[in-house]
Structure 1
Amino acid sequence: MASSFPSFEKTIQFLWLCFISNLLDLAHADPPYSVCSNNSNYSANSTFQNNLEILMSSIRSNASVSKLYYTSTGNDLDRIYAQYMCINYITHDSCSTCITAASQDIMQVCPGDKEAVVWEELCQLRYSNQSFLGHLDVSGNIAKDNQKDVENPEQFGLVVNETLSDLTKQVAFNASANMYATRQAAFTNTETLYALMQCSTDLSPDDCNTCLRVAMENISSCCDASRGGRVLSRSCYLRYELYAFYEGANESSKSPVPGKSSRRKTWIIIILTAAAAVLVVVILGSLIYYHAMRNGIKKWKKQNTRLDRNCHGIGHPNNNDFQLQNFQRDGLNDGESAFMDLESIYAATGNFSDSNLLGQGGFGPVYKVNEIHLLDFQARKCKLRSIEKI
């Protein structure tokens, strides 16, 4: 039984390491995603930094009323241009929350850079010391795939390409679409493809079409076997999944829509924190139980070894020395050692023979007892304790 404790302890350690590893993987997979210039920097407390902070404040205040916004501030070399774009289906409140997070993240992930772009779950934000309004930019596109693979990638690829091609035309050349559209297409009898595309409205229709075509090429090179994918571009956005990830999709039991990124992150943090706390309690409880059991087994073995040592040799025909037999009350409580049964007393005193009468005490007659009978009584006591131990 004791040999199983080390393996149990290793199992607990293994589970803990697995939990921490999964936790780190999850944290690594979360937005924001970013591209930093790294070749053009501003100094701390400079005019450029002050203008950037003013620009971020202006962007945050406008995000609650507009889902796409372009602005600039400053003069000459310290002039900064900025633009944000929220996914069109989300509410103004969700857009404001997303842009607030993006404005904070972009300052942290690209500190000191004069040009940067960051993508959150539902929005994107960029700034530069060069004007980019109306200019197509597909440099630094990021393609992200769904971690689950599809069972029939060739058939799925045909459905995806056809759906995205039709959707590209609608987004780029249908003026009423305002450069945003979604589409659903049947993949199997039980699965539906959901796709979404959006361009920055400062682009021309041809540039929007080019941006989305490049995004489709990015998808084909990274995600051909995946159940879904997305492309993060400075000028456009593309995503498709086998579940209804956007609001307005008519799936009866759709997967959770990442509607409010901050709320979703908060719940993830709460759940992971609670899980970690429970795991810590389980590990500590298991270790305490393990040490308690181990100490209990050691104490039990020690007591039984001492009892066996005290009882060893009692009544042995070759050991008649009363003192050497360690005739003590070790291993017996006071109630057990203070009383002899009447049969043993009769045998030890010769049925209260007058020849064994020693005198008269305060509590009555005092008799001499036969050591052989007394040792036999002690041996029976040890035998009884051995049976109880078994």
Structure 2
Amino acid sequence: MNFRFIISLALFFFLNFLSNYSHTTEAAPTYLEYYCPNTTLYTPNSTYRSNLNTLLSSLSSAATSNADGFANATAGKAAPDRAYGLFLCRGDVGTATCGECVATGSKDILRRCPDGRVSVIWYDECMLKYSNQSIYSVVEIVPGYTVPDTGSVAGPDQFVQLLGQTMNDVVVRASDSESGKKFAVAEANFTSSQKLYTLAQCTPDLTKSDCNTCLRAAVADLSQGEQGGSSFTPSCTVRFEMYLFYNASAVPPPPELPSRPAPLGRAKGKSNKSTMIIVAVAIPVGVAIMVLFVACCSSRSKTTKTFEVVQAEDGATDITTVESLQYHLAAIQAATNNFSHRNKLGHGGFGEVFRGRLSNGQEIAVKRLSKSSGQGVREFKNEVVLAAKLQHRNLVQLLGFCLEGEEKILVYEFVPNKSLDYFLFDPNKRRQLDWSRRYTIISGIARGMLYLHEGSRLRIIHRDLKPSNVLLDSDMNPKISDFGMARIFGVDQIQANTNRIVGTFPCI
């Protein structure tokens, strides 16, 4: 009798163990990606590591008690050993799931990035990041990652249009959110038996404009022709699926959106053109839509897919990841003879520009931002991510960047004939600009601006167009440069208010 009791008791504890183990496994967060650049490191027993441990413990505690699913914290009193961090949980997950995700991330990030002062880790349920510089209220579009779902969708043209409309809705509502969460979901009927579900979310510390900028950039990187996918950065995330992937009972009922749109007709006038532009800017489109778009607007260049290798018409290939653009500081110093004065091409409001030659013989233009310039990490990353996404013959091509220590450097293609102001404001050089050449330059600038406003997958306003920011190649073709002040606008946005003056003040 005692033997049976012991066996029964042992079986009870064994089954209870299996139940708890199964529950723990099912509740474990779904890992997506991590990022830790090797530009700033710390030693295992350093003050920064001690502060980091305190920071992560504080964030883990906050996640178990914060119903908003977001918190930031700091640890340490002085730079460079002060640690800044924050977490963001998906808007529909509960406090318990959020707490478990952040606790897992706090341990996992130290294992994956054992000596990095700057690190980010993403799960399906949460995101956790820290740095030795302040990251609160700072929009970070780099790095950006895309996770596609396998499986194509029937009726891709109509699906892309519906996806663009639905994504635009959640981006606008997430950016405009006045609540503690910059979070929105939406659903729309694609067929009688299929629904499209979408989600957009920013860290709540961002402004409306910064949130919109981040989400638009993330939407532009979503995979084409798939049944689902997600795109995420350190500041925001977007996702779409053909199944309900979020907890609908934990979020307010989303507004009813139009069902699957009818096939595109051949409307007259500007309506058809506007519709095609909205589709092209809202979401990367399928090949069929792109061909139709180029046929209607033959003066525009084809838009290439960013962060995937794509063969262009001129034989060049697009980038694969932002990291693939990164140069080591030593390589830049060697190319410019350690930023020799003899190699200096000029200087602007944010720093100096040098001519250089890489080890493979390629000539480059190196924009070295001054340490006292007004362009901080935000503007620098803004210019990198924008220039990387833009591919047009009348825009200067970004080749790479360097971010080591206090150095912030952009590497561009070398444009031999300097800038337009070099010719316009020199009495002798001005004579080279006959009316035929001036017309070519004006037309090229207009084509570049039209691409930025309507032809690219992001609607971009340069905000600092001037002769010194228009470079001339060997054939005197113009190339627009300097996107540090650029701003990404909404898909259907035709005007906006700004809260600060940017650009260059005119001399009177």
2:420 counterpart residue number: none
What TM-score, normalized to structure 2? 0.42
Please show how residues 71-220 of structure 1 align to structure 2 within 5 Å. Answer: 71-74=73-76, 75-176=78-179, 178-219=181-222
1:240 counterpart residue number: 240
2:271 counterpart residue number: none
Aligned residue type for 2:233: S
**1 CA distance for matches of 2:181 and 2:247?**
17
What TM-score, normalized to structure 1? 0.54
Which has the larger helix fraction? 1
**1 CA distance for matches of 2:174 and 2:180?**
6
Deviation at 1:225, TM superposition (A): 1.1
Q: Percent sequence identity over matched residues?
A: 32
Deviation at 1:249, TM superposition (A): 6.4
Deviation at 1:146, TM superposition (A): 0.5
Q: Is the 8 A contact 1:63 1:95 kept in 2?
A: yes
Aligned residue type for 1:167: V
Please show how residues 36-75 of structure 1 align to structure 2 within 5 Å. Answer: 36-66=36-66, 67-74=69-76, 75=78
Q: Is the 8 A contact 1:34 1:119 kept in 2?
A: yes
**1 CA distance for matches of 2:100 and 2:183?**
21
Please show how residues 16-55 of structure 1 align to structure 2 within 5 Å. Answer: 31-55=31-55
**1 CA distance for matches of 2:154 and 2:118?**
41
Deviation at 1:174, TM superposition (A): 3.7
Q: Is the 8 A contact 1:170 1:177 kept in 2?
A: no
**2 CA distance for matches of 1:174 and 1:49?**
36
SS at structure 2 position matched to 1:33:
strand
Aligned residue type for 1:218: D
Q: Is the 8 A contact 1:228 1:241 kept in 2?
A: yes
**2 CA distance for matches of 1:218 and 1:134?**
23
Deviation at 1:163, TM superposition (A): 0.4
Q: Is the 8 A contact 1:171 1:177 kept in 2?
A: no
Q: Is the 8 A contact 1:63 1:99 kept in 2?
A: yes
Q: Is the 8 A contact 1:153 1:224 kept in 2?
A: no
Please show how residues 309-348 of structure 1 align to structure 2 within 5 Å. Answer: none
2:4 counterpart residue number: none
SS at structure 1 position matched to 2:73:
strand
Q: CA RMSD in A?
A: 1.5
Structure 2: runs of 5+ lacking an equivalent: 1-29, 251-508
**2 CA distance for matches of 1:55 and 1:63?**
12
Structure 1: runs of 5+ lacking an equivalent: 1-29, 251-390
1:44/1:177 CA distance change after superposition, 3 Å: closer
* Structure with larger Rg: 1
**2 CA distance for matches of 1:199 and 1:123?**
12
Q: Is the 8 A contact 2:177 2:183 kept in 1?
A: no
Deviation at 1:176, TM superposition (A): 4.4
Deviation at 1:142, TM superposition (A): 0.6
1:176/1:81 CA distance change after superposition, 3 Å: closer
2:229 counterpart residue number: 229
Deviation at 1:151, TM superposition (A): 2.4
Q: Is the 8 A contact 2:91 2:181 kept in 1?
A: no
